[in-house]
Amino acid sequence: MSEEKITKDMTISEVLNKYPETILVFSKFNIGCAGCFAAAFEKIEDIARVHGTDLNELLKELNEVIKKKK
């Protein structure tokens, strides 16, 4: 069985729908797009670039949160 993982190509909505606990990570990085229209089509990689966020650090923390849930 493969381990679940959040990737840079996933949309914000996709991540939040599957892993609602990740909202805290988005908030920590001042990414308030969770409830906005763009969340439906904006990919993690794109939103990190727009917000000047380190993509690798964001993905690391998002994935740590979902691992803790298991």
pLDDT tens digits, residue range 26-59? 999 988 766 677 788 889 999 999 889 999 999 9
Mean pLDDT of 59-64: 98
All structural domains of the chain, each given as residue ranges with its CATH number in brackets, are: 12-69 (1.10.3910)
The alpha carbon of residue 53 and the mean position of all alpha carbons in its chain are separated, in whole angstroms, by: 12
pTM: 0.88
Alpha helices in the chain (DSSP H): 12-18, 23-28, 44-51, 55-69
Per-residue pLDDT at 70: 63
